[in-house]
Copies of this chain bind each other. A is one copy, B any other.
Amino acid sequence: MFELGVVYRNIKRADRAAADGLATFGSATVHEAMGRVGLMKPYMRPIYPGVQISGTAVTVLLQPGDNWMLHVVAEQIQAGDIVVAACTADNTDGFFGDLLATSFKARGARGLVIDAGCRDVKTLQEMGFPVWSRAISSKGTVKSTLGSVNIPVVCAGALVHPGDVVVADDDGVVIVPAAMAQKTIDAASAREANEGEKRAKLASGVLGLDMYKMREPLEKAGLRYID
């Protein structure tokens, strides 16, 4: 694990329908449905707002200041994938721009999640190729040191196996292990089932204190009201 210089060509992707279906719930609901685990750190931000996607992870481990492996991973992309790029050190260089995005898109990628920097953000938005990154930077990179493709990686604090489901939106990025994809859809659906009713109650002025029956536990915990 975490070996350098290897490309795994055959990965087991999560069930396609489940991978696609998770997009509708968004990262917050999916994270809750999984039992509050699986999130990347909040420094990972979309380079432009308003996109909500899901897809299967193709992973790549990069070296600082070196984007060689992004060309290697391009070949492993299949339609419906999202590339997840980790780096062996904290680095904000602009590893990815419009040419690579053109290539990734042509291969069927839905987006990129990169724990490093991205550039050509204006063009990427015009192309409609979404990226979540830790930085935006014009800084160019070299192509001289090997990383790996489709090994498990730690990206922004989250463990990602190739084939896992990536759910990304304006709130952040969450990873669903491939084997849990369908179960997570079910849990997310159940969670959202009565949200409309809750929202209507709250909108009418009912308090969460009452709707969730919190008054007793709060009192038990010692909460005192002072007039």
Q: In the complex the two chains form, is A139's CB within 8 Å of B74's CB?
A: no
Q: C-beta contact mask, A160-200 vs B, less than 8 Å → 1, else 0?
A: 00000000011110100100000000000000000100110
What range describes how many residues of A lie at the interface? 35 or more
Task: Decide if A56 is an interface residue (CB 8 Å cutoff).
Answer: no
Q: Across the interface, which residues of B come within 8 angstroms of A195, CB to CB? A: 99
Copies in the complex: 6
Q: In the complex the two chains form, is B223's CB within 8 Å of A5's CB?
A: yes
Q: Across the interface, which residues of B come within 8 angstroms of A94, CB to CB? A: 28, 171
Q: Across the interface, which residues of B come within 8 angstroms of A143, CB to CB? A: 214
A45, chain B: closest CB distance, angstroms: 7
Interface set, chain A 76-95, CB cutoff 8 A to B = 88-94
A36, chain B: closest CB distance, angstroms: 5
